[in-house]
Amino acid sequence: MTKRMSRRAVLPLLLAPAVALSACSTGTTSDEANGGETTIRLMAYATGGFKEKYIKAVIEPFEQANPGIKVEYDGVVSSAEMLGRLRTQKSNPTVDVSIMDLSVAESANKEGIFAPLDPAKVPNMKDLSEQAKVRDNFGPGVTFDNLTLAYNTKAVSTPPTSWNDLWDPAYKGKISISAPPQLDGIGLTVILNKMLGGDYTASIEPAIKRLRELAPSVQTWNPQPDTYTLVKSGQVELALAWNARSQLQHDQSNGALGVVLPKEGSIMQVNTINLVKGGKQADAAQKFIDHALSPDAQAAFSAEMFYAPTNMLTKVNDEVAQRTVMTPEKLKTMIAVDWNWLAEHRAEWTDVWRKDVISN
Amino acid sequence: MEDAYLVLNKLTKTYPNQPRSAVHEVEIDVARGEFISLLGPSGCGKTTTLRMIAGLITPTSGRISVDGTDITSRPVHKRDMGLVFQSYALFPHMSVGQNVEFGLEMRRIARGERRRRVAEALDMVHLSHLANRRVSQLSGGQAQRIALARALVIEPTVLLLDEPLSNLDAKLREELRVEIRRIQQEIGITTVFVTHDQDEALAMSDRLVVMSEGRVEQVGEPWAIYETPKNRFVADFIGRTNMFDGQVVGRDDGVLRVEIAGVGTLSVRAPEADLATATVMVRPHRVRIEPAQQMANELKGRVVQSSYLGDVESVVIDVNGTRVLAERAHSGRPLAAGATVGLGWGDADAYVIPQ
Amino acid sequence: MALLTPGLLALGVSFLVPLVWLARMSLNRTVGPAELQPAVSPQSYIDVLTDGFMWKVAWHTLWLGLLVTVLTIVVSYPIALFLARTRSRLRGLLMALAIAPLLTSSVVRTFGWLILLSDDGVVNSALRTLGITSEPLVLTNNVTGVVIALVEIMMPYAILAMIAGFGRVSKNLEEAAGSLGAGRLRCFVRITFPLSLPGVFTGALMVFVLTISAFITPRLMGGGRVFVIATEIYDQATTTLDWPRASALSVLLLLLFGVFLVLYQRLFRMVEGK
Ligand SMILES: Nc1ncnc2c1ncn2[C@@H]1O[C@H](COP(=O)(O)OP(=O)(O)OP(=O)(O)O)[C@@H](O)[C@H]1O
Ligand SMILES: [Mg+2]
């Protein structure tokens, strides 16, 4: 009896990993378009205020200008999870447009999940900066972000100015860094390698060596629930962070979290806006994409969330320019990054980090 | 009793939050080598008493001594008492042999002697061939014999059995009764046996203790309890009986005359006593149906029901509204319901229950 | 049999379908960074099995599983034994208390531990106040925190499984042993403990399997320093997007479960003596 019972009790346990994995693939179903209106569905970030700000700055003005089109926002935690969902509905997509990280989008482009845009339907594409352009008219960059240092303004009297401040013994045990496979750690590797005079496509040994010295000072390589919360609460004092979210958190925390773009420069992260292949509303979707790439929408979203615009015609005010990389001096310090190359080497770098940095 | 071996002195147990004591000032003296049974209805405190003797329950007050030594506060494992449970309580993860050997191991007895004594004990219950069996492969009867061997192998001062036969079928019960008694007499061990089966108690015991609601009602040899119960409870509890309540109307040469409403005046031999009322008891087997000779007490009645039991016939007779039980041996064809019959018993067949 | 049909169907849908999907996915191929290509290829398995780091992760997982299992059983055993044997009227209440943590998610409980064990959390404050330590002990963002939180999270499961497996432990047997001369300690060693082994094994298997597949606690408490198979699967599935590799890892983890299940049944039969 006991034996049989225990076997039965164990069975569901075996399911755990299977269910966990398949859960990643369950997509949400689309609502029917309501009454003569066209509804397009946008899949983008759910986290860090992105959703609210994007609806306010981009979607609402679009809907006002195009009364026949409604945009539904489907918030998802990460680009990778977006790709996971899109994979499962590849044959019958319920999403029309997706905003996600450049390198993840590239996999989707190759897998035939996204379709190239029609330049005639998205005229704003021609005004995009070089870094925002993607091969074969696939979904182009819609926002730029960059790595920064975030710090707790109560605990830190002299704000950091350089990436080298991470090695300041004052911060020992008070540092948070999201390690690879997260892009944060990948980006930091590129920056350090550049600072130490190396080319990341050749070798990252210099950066890894320097990081190994940093390892004992790091409190967490996997901040939970996220970096910004830890910095605000003082659980950590200095952290590798993304500019847009840090700027937003700075405002929302009444300055408890401070943001610094280190003098050595940084790397840029690109979110692309993509047309889902096989979507039923391709025209409306491209109309929306064009709007998202327009100088007005770009300026509005930058003012809300401090992502730098990708359309070169975008006019931003001084404050926004100061708090993004949108000044010519800052742009000059940005390190060129081949994200597709990095995506190919991400697993490799992750292994090196684990073996040579984290295990120390 | 002067040569008392196991003595219970005003033994009392009150469980927390219980208004009444489960066992109340119980006084029992057990002689060395005596077989005594605790008998009584369910919940009367038999188990509680036995477990206090074993050391599994701490008495609220009172004392227990064995051979003159007070053991009231001695822990179970130092009491040296053999215990047999209704549920056998054999260790399921040990073989039969290991079960029997367990108590000897606890006593740190040398291996060779352990072997010898285990073999002897198994031999005593005629189960030597089962030494290597697993406990789960035993029948109920075998299991209880092993439990007995296990309890006896340690040569305990007292053997305690709590309804050891209740889980067995009737035939096995009778067989084991005989066997337990045989072994008990062979080794002469002082034994306290708990049961609610009167036949068992009457058949096996040197003496009986009848209990009710935590108190001892009567202690005595089986025949004495049966023939001369001390009170209505004992009379009613042991065996089947007829009891008549009435007014004493006369006394004549050791024979009391008692007037029973609706039945008539009964004669019963009784010791000298100044009684106004009396309860007369007659056991059914003493009641003659259609007696051949004249008897001191004669009644007429109508057969209500007759049950044919093989060796006897049990008859319920209505005498003017009073039910009388009778037993007829060698009856042949049973009496038909409705038939009118004469009944009778001698004045020595009846007994006056002391009030 | 007819009565079993809906159950079997449910089992088929909830268990077999994901399993088949998983097995199929593990044979696909990942090209470039994360491009999923349909294929029938053992490449993912070869990749996983020839990756030295994966072996290290597997070893870590087993080690963590064993450590948590041993600690959980040691801590839970007295509680389970007490609950299984007590005749107190409070038994129901105590039982409810012991398993109440199951009502909250392990995410919530892990965050709870994250706060309790942090540098200025209750534990470190207490140690400091009592003068036992001057510097805070690092109890979070490392394997120590993971172990502490996992043990607490696993305790209700262990207690329930052990109580269910303590069927042969009985007061009667202990009393019999007592009457035969066994004191408390010897009674425990010779009677209670051996009889409780089936419960211990059931509890241990339960905790072990739950621990080696635990994802949330190692992820939240580990500070990115604790690598186990489950976090690896999660990373592969949701960050690196290598689904074939994630699936292959899952299948291998399932096989590992299978192995332990068989070992467990062997052991169980040995203890039950059948
Ligand atoms: N642990 C306990 N707590 C409270 N009351 C108890 C406890 N054990 C027994 N009792 C009560 O004490 C009284 C005597 O119980 P005991 O078990 O001694 O009866 P018994 O004569 O052995 O009955 P049975 O023939 O049914 O076995 C009963 O009223 C019972 O309900
Ligand atoms: Mg009893």
Q: Which of C141, C225, C240 sits opposite A181 (nearest CB)?
A: C240
Q: Which CATH superfamily is domain A29-144+271-325 in?
A: Periplasmic binding protein-like II (3.40.190.10)
Contact A354 C198 (CB under 8 A): no
Tell me, what's the pLDDT at A198? 85
A24 at C interface, C-beta within 8 A: yes
What is the rounded CA–CA span in Å between residue B159 and residue B124? 15
CA of B195 to the centre of ligand 1 (A): 14
Residues forming a β-bridge with C103: none
Report CA torsion sign: A174, A179, A182, A183. Answer: positive
* Ligand nearest to C-alpha B85: 2
The alpha-carbon gap from C205 to the nearest alpha carbon of chain B, in Å, equals: 21
Instruction: Enumerate chain C positions whose Cβ falls within 8 A of a Cβ in B.
Output: 168, 170, 172-173, 175-183, 186-187, 190-191, 194-195, 273
Residue bearing the CA closest to ligand 1, atom 27: B42
Indicate yes or no: CB of B151 within 8 angstroms of CB of C182: no
Asked if the Cβ–Cβ distance from C181 to B92 is below 8 Å, we say no
Beta strands A257-260 and B158-162 are unpaired
Contact residues for A21 (Cβ-Cβ < 8 A; gap 6+): C18, C22, C233, C237, C246, C247, C250
* A 40-99 residues with CB < 8 A to C: 78, 80-81, 83-84, 87
Q: Is A23 on the interface with C (CB under 8 A)?
A: no
CATH of domain B4-236: 3.40.50.300
Burial class (CB in 10 A: 0-12, 13-18, 19+), B145: buried
Ligand nearest to the backbone CA of B41: 1
Residue B295 CA to residue C141 CA, distance in Å, equals 102
What is the full per-residue pLDDT of chain A (360 aa) written as tens digits? 343 434 444 444 444 444 444 444 433 334 444 456 899 999 999 987 899 999 999 999 999 999 999 999 999 988 988 998 999 899 999 999 999 999 899 989 999 999 999 999 999 999 999 889 898 999 999 999 999 999 999 999 999 999 999 999 999 999 999 999 899 999 999 999 999 998 999 999 999 999 999 999 999 999 988 999 999 999 999 999 999 999 999 999 999 999 999 999 999 999 999 999 999 899 999 999 999 999 999 999 999 999 999 999 998 888 888 899 888 888 889 999 998 899 889 889 998 999 899 985
CA of B166 to the centre of ligand 1 (A): 17
Q: Does a cis peptide bond (omega within 30 degrees of 0) precede residue A225? A: yes
The reply to whether A343 touches chain C by the CB within 8 Å rule is yes
Task: Answer yes or no: do C179 and B107 touch at CB < 8 A.
Answer: no
- Chain A residue with CA closest to C205: the answer is A10
Assigned token pair, B54: 């074993």
Interface contact flag, C224 A358, Cβ < 8 Å = yes
Do the domains at A29-144+271-325 and A145-267+336-358 have one common CATH topology?
A: yes
Taking an 8 Å cut-off on Cβ atoms, the answer to whether A20 and C233 are in contact is: yes
Domain A145-267+336-358 CATH superfamily: Periplasmic binding protein-like II (3.40.190.10)
Query: What are C23-81's pLDDT values in tens digits?
Result: 999 999 988 777 888 889 999 999 999 988 889 899 999 999 999 999 999 999 999 99
All domains in chain C, ordered by first residue: 58-272 (1.10.3720.10)
The per-residue pLDDT for A326 is: 82
Q: Measuring from atom 28 of ligand 1, which residue has the nearest CA?
A: B43
DSSP track, C151-212: HHHHHHHHHHHHHHH-TT--HHHHHHHHHTT--HHHHIIIIIHHHHHHHHHHHHHHHHHHHH
What ipTM is given for this predicted complex? 0.85
Within its chain, how far is the Cα of A274 from the centroid?
Answer: 15
Residue nearest to atom 12 of ligand 1 (CA): B22
CA neighbours within 13 Å on the CB side: how many for A129?
A: 20
CATH class held by domain B240-349: mainly beta
Domain ranges within chain A, ordered by starting residue: 29-144+271-325, 145-267+336-358
Q: Whole-prediction pTM value?
A: 0.81
Digitized pLDDT (tens) for each residue of chain B, 355 residues in all: 457 999 999 999 999 988 999 999 999 999 999 999 999 999 999 999 999 999 999 999 999 999 999 999 999 999 999 999 999 999 999 999 999 999 999 999 999 999 999 999 999 999 999 999 999 999 999 999 999 999 999 999 999 999 999 999 989 999 999 999 999 999 999 999 999 889 999 999 999 999 999 999 999 999 999 999 999 999 999 989 999 999 999 888 889 999 998 888 999 998 877 788 899 999 999 999 988 889 999 999 999 999 888 888 899 999 998 999 999 886 678 888 999 999 999 999 999 998 6
Of the residues A10, A184, A226, the best mutation for testing chain C's interface (the one with the most C CB atoms within 10 Å of its CB) is A10
Using CA atoms, how far apart are residues C149 and A95, in angstroms rounded to an integer?
Answer: 40
CA-to-CA distance for B260 and B280, rounded, in angstroms? 9
**For ligand 1, atom 24: residue with the closest CA:** B42
Interchain proximity C176–B154, CB inside 8 Å: no
Distances, alpha carbon C138 to alpha carbons A96, A173, A219, C221, in Å = 48, 9, 9, 12
CB–CB contacts below 8 A, A to C? 149
The residue whose CA is least distant from atom 25 of ligand 1 is B42
**Across all residues in chain B, what is the average pLDDT?**
93
| Ligand having the closest approach to the CA of B22 | 1
Q: Where are the domains of chain B?
A: 4-236, 240-349
pLDDT at residue C37, as a whole number: 85
Take atom 18 of ligand 1 and give the residue whose Cα is closest. B45
Residue ranges with CB less than 5 Å from ion ligand 2 = B 47
Q: Which residues line ligand 1 (CB under 6 A)?
A: B 15, 18, 22, 40, 42-48, 196
A110 vs C: CB within 8 A: yes
Contact flag C175-B56 (C-beta cutoff 8 Å): yes
Centroid of ligand 1 to alpha carbon of B222 (angstroms): 25
Give pLDDT tens digits along chain C (274 positions).
567 788 888 877 888 888 899 999 999 998 877 788 888 999 999 999 998 888 989 999 999 999 999 999 999 999 999 999 888 888 889 989 888 888 888 888 888 888 888 888 888 889 888 888 888 888 889 999 999 999 999 999 999 999 999 988 999 999 999 999 999 999 999 999 999 999 999 999 999 999 999 999 999 999 999 999 999 998 888 888 889 999 999 999 899 888 988 988 888 888 776 4
CA of B84 to the centre of ligand 2 (A): 12
Rounded to the nearest angstrom, the distance between the alpha carbon of B56 and the centre of ligand 2 is 13
Distance between CA A4 and CA B355 in Å, rounded?
63
Contact B89 C172 (CB under 8 A): yes
pLDDT computed for residue A36 by the predictor? 63
Which chains form contacts with chain C, at 3 or more CB pairs under 8 Å? A, B
Query: What pLDDT is attached to residue B51?
Result: 97
Mutation for testing the C interface, residue in A22, A76, A177, A186 having most C CBs under 10 Å: A22
